[in-house]
A and B are shown apart, each in its own frame.
Chain A
Amino acid sequence: MALTSSCADETLIAEVAALVVSALNLEISPAAIAPDEPLFGDGLGLDSIDILEVALVVSKRYGFSLRADNEDNLKIFASLRSLADHVAANRGQ
């Protein structure tokens, strides 16, 4: 991945991980989510219900609405890093 201004730093990754864990009441520590593991399916095992719940919390916290625009709905949630990158690129300045 290219290093651009939209890449999330470790602080933001940890912050988003904490948000995911608290939004879904997961019984794991935020630090236990590997940044590049898939969040849904075989990885953390999230599904589309979780993703809508996290999307809501992310939009409230960072002040922007998630959009898929006919792309794969789950692309933003491919991994913790992709979600944090999406937040870094879209959050209110």
Chain B
Amino acid sequence: MSVLPLLAHSNADDIVARRGGESISLARFLVDVGRVMAVLPPCRHVLNLCADRYRFAVGLAASMASQRVSLLPSTHTLETLRQMAAFAPDCHILTDADPGQYPLPAVVFPPADEAMPSAVCPAVPRLDARQHVAWVFTSGSTGLPVPHRKSWGRLVTSVRATAAALGIDPTRPPTLVGTVPPQHMFGFESTVLLAWLGGGAFDASRPFYPADIVATLGRVPDAVLVTTPFHLRTLLDADLPLPGLEFVLSATAPLPTELARRAEAAFQAPLFEIYGSTETGQVATRRSATSAAWTLTRDVRLSIRDGQGWIEGDDMDAPIALADVIDVVGERQFTLVGRNADIINIAGKRTSLDYLDRQLAAIDGVRDGAFHLPDGGRDDSHITRLAAFVVAPGLDAASLRAALRERIDPAFMPRPLILLDALPRNATGKLPYANREALLAAHRAQDRMDTPEDVRLPSRPGESRITIAANHPAFAGHFPGRPIVPGVVLLDEAAGALALALGLDEPCWHLGSVKFIRAVGPGANMYLKWQQSGASGAIAFTLADDDGVIASGSLTPGGAQTP
């Protein structure tokens, strides 16, 4: 049986945390852990909502040292708290805020004890590697949070491997400054556990505005910034004078190379990204300014079966499917090729459209509804918000939003929220991507500055269907055995459909731009949606089918137009 200490620090005056320029020693920390253990009620599960990172860490350590299991859901909406209570009815909240605001019994973090800890430093707790320490939840696709069991041994394996890959030196311990909360998997592993297991410290705060982040980084020695692409971009865009750092750590969404290079130049330090997930823990890193490939940090194996990436290792019960599409480029290296269609990521927060649709459907009075990630929403450099189409006679937009806010993370709140009389679902009951894009385009076209968002649209938006006949002459001679529709034919069909829909008589089209994104074969069934700009007359169009965009571009009609 393997026994592992709670943290790597061993001397009573080793620094484990900092707050506002003050240092917090190992002795102080262990005394605080004992004080929290004394106030925890006789429960098996703890939902640790302390916003202060130090208090979170003390609460976590107190829970671990007393064989309690911490619950780490991905969001803290009212509905999630209720789901946690249903999952573990004995669960108590530990909070450093007003305990009256929660639907569960809550314990307040005890007030600070200013007395110096006695000369005798309490012993560092040691835990059986198999001890169940936490349930970490993902949003899953059933509408209920999916629990993932974390033993102390597995967390230690994951985070120690990261610490080694980053070259964290216990003789020169860094201070980790996180813009991410300790309750989310990345912040949990990369601020609290990385400091514990790497022998460093973390700052208790979670600075928010760029100027606050800069001030915090400037007052701690050997600072490391632990952040997300979104926070990093707003920080760099603020153009503030930045202090030099030991390194920068980013995760939750892939960081564009350009942003990684800017960050390295601005902080005079390397930037590392971490690849991991709630299911797998941290598994790989890359220095993003110089490498597109990720290098595994621990003894796991990658494989690709039927286009799906899998990861397996001795510390996992079964192979785990990755949320990203990967390409294995070396024995211990891989690159990211794309994301599985249903997984969405808004400013580093992940969920699935399925999950959101089920949350919508669960609201009283909602007859039908669907979330949609608008075209362009797969680019991580700008935050694209979700849209939602809802059929809910008798409900207005404000009450729908209030009900949704209880269920889903604010980052996923739909914008716009479009109320309709019916959804144009197809024969199999699906609302394909192209239909959702068309609904959104119709809403935007109709929208005027003073129009309220919840204006009711006709249930059938304008759109055209295009089918390429299987015996189209263009297939002859093109890629024998694997016929595809040539781009010129797609363009021709799109222009023809536009002329028909707009009542133009054989116009002379000027092609502004066109991008062919995906090949389609004979018999392809496509939707065409478009929007005409009033000023130039240019028509932006998108050709898509149920699997997504096929081609997009811009055409301007000229010449022989009907009056």
Q: Does B238 reach chain A (CB closer than 8 Å)?
A: yes
The range of chain B's interface size is: 20 to 34
Interface majority SS on B: helix, strand, loop or mixed? loop
The range of chain A's interface size is: 20 to 34
Q: Does A52 reach chain B (CB closer than 8 Å)?
A: yes
Q: Is the CB of B411 within 8 A of A49?
A: yes
Instruction: Name B211's contact: one of A47, A49, A67 (CB within 8 Å).
Output: A67
Taking the closest CB of chain B, its distance from the CB of A67, in whole angstroms, is: 5
Q: Does B59 reach chain A (CB closer than 8 Å)?
A: no
* Bound-complex Cα distance A60 to B209 (A): 14
Contacts of B38 in A (CB 8 A): none
* Bound-complex Cα distance A55 to B238 (A): 9
Q: Is the CB of A53 within 8 A of B383?
A: yes
* Bound-complex Cα distance A59 to B238 (A): 8
Q: Does B116 reach chain A (CB closer than 8 Å)?
A: no
Q: Is the CB of A49 within 8 A of B449?
A: no
* Bound-complex Cα distance A73 to B415 (A): 23
Q: Does A68 reach chain B (CB closer than 8 Å)?
A: yes
Pick from B189-197, B229-237, B265-273, B335-343 the stretch touching chain A: B229-237
Q: Is the CB of A48 within 8 A of B208?
A: yes
Contacts of B396 in A (CB 8 A): none
| Residue in chain A with minimal CB distance to B234 | A52
Instruction: Name B453's contact: one of A28, A49, A67, A70 (CB within 8 Å).
Output: A28
* Bound-complex Cα distance A50 to B42 (A): 41
Q: What string of 1s and 0s marks CB contacts (under 8 Å) between B204-220 and chain A?
A: 01011111100100000
Q: Is the CB of A42 within 8 A of B209?
A: no
Q: Is the CB of B402 within 8 A of A42?
A: yes
How many cross-chain pairs have Cβ atoms below 8 Å apart between A and B?
68
Known: A66-B209, A67-B212, A70-B20. A45 touches B401 (CB 8 A): yes
Contacts of B240 in A (CB 8 A): 65
Q: Does B450 reach chain A (CB closer than 8 Å)?
A: yes
Interface majority SS on A: helix, strand, loop or mixed? loop
Q: Does B550 reach chain A (CB closer than 8 Å)?
A: no
* Bound-complex Cα distance A68 to B179 (A): 13
Known: A41-B405, A68-B208. A49 touches B450 (CB 8 A): no
Q: What string of 1s and 0s marks CB contacts (under 8 Å) between B384-427 and chain A?
A: 00000000000000000110010000110101100000000000
Q: Does A34 reach chain B (CB closer than 8 Å)?
A: no
* Bound-complex Cα distance A68 to B214 (A): 12
Q: Is the CB of A65 within 8 A of B208?
A: no
- State the A residues within 8 Å of B (CB): 26-29, 32, 40-42, 45, 47-49, 52-53, 55-56, 59, 65-70, 73
- State the B residues within 8 Å of A (CB): 20, 205, 207-212, 215, 230-231, 234, 237-238, 240, 346-347, 383, 401-402, 405, 410-411, 413, 415-416, 447, 449-453
Q: A26-B415, A29-B450, A49-B347 provided; 5 other pairs, C-beta below 8 A?
A: A28-B452, A49-B411, A52-B209, A52-B234, A68-B209
